[in-house]
């Protein structure tokens, strides 16, 4: 929070902050640990999913007490990485259908009922998953009305051309923006 206050004070214009979760608490996860392969227990609409959605609101509430507001949140950082992650990495696995249902039944309504004007981004994973992921989530009218845009990572961009992923997705869902939310150099050790 002090670093965010410093950054906000130094900026000549307002900053658009977004937050992206890595994992839910261990008691909410199928493997009973914050690390390794695991999903949220149960299914969308149940107590685990509703509680996880309320964690987002509590997070936004607590930061707001310190005059830090978030322009957007993502439903999950790298949801498919949760299937392939090293054993010590904290992550939650979601399929596109699971993310759709979580957004439609839990996270979307929780954000809409809250006092926050925070937007919701979906995917937050490699663009190789587009347009499939967008078709599953945004193809559902309930989920689509809660989603402002698609968060995309760049690590596997060399595998799929932008026309097959970004452009195809934009043509299907022109009212939802595409935003690169994660990138770094040195990801591939051999390059």
Q: What are phi and psi of 71, to 5 degrees?
A: -70, -35
- Active-site annotation holder among 74, 78, 91, 100: 78
78 has catalytic annotation: yes
Output the six-digit token pair for 169: 């997705």
167 has catalytic annotation: no
Separation CA 124–CA 180 (nearest Å): 8
- Active-site annotation holder among 33, 157, 167, 182: 182
Which residues participate in catalysis according to the annotation? 78, 182
């Amino acid at each position: 929070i002090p670093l965010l206050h410093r950054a906000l004070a130094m900026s000549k214009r307002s900053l658009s902050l977004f937050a992206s979760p890595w994992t839910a608490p261990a008691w909410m996860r199928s493997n009973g640990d914050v690390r390794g392969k695991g999903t949220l227990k149960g299914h969308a609409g149940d107590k685990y999913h509703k509680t996880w959605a309320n964690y987002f609101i509590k997070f936004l509430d607590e930061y707001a007490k310190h005059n830090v507001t978030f322009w957007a949140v993502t439903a999950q950082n790298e949801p498919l990485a949760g299937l392939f992650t090293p054993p010590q990495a904290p992550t939650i696995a979601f399929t596109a259908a699971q993310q759709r249902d979580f957004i439609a039944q839990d996270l979307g309504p929780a954000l809409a009922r809250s006092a926050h004007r925070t937007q919701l981004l979906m995917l937050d994973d490699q663009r190789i998953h587009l347009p499939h992921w967008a078709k599953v989530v945004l193809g559902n009218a309930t989920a689509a009305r809660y989603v402002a845009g698609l968060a995309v990572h760049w690590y596997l961009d060399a595998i799929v051309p932008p026309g097959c992923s970004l452009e195809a997705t934009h043509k299907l869902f022109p009212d939802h923006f595409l935003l690169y939310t994660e990138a770094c150099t040195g990801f591939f050790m051999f390059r």
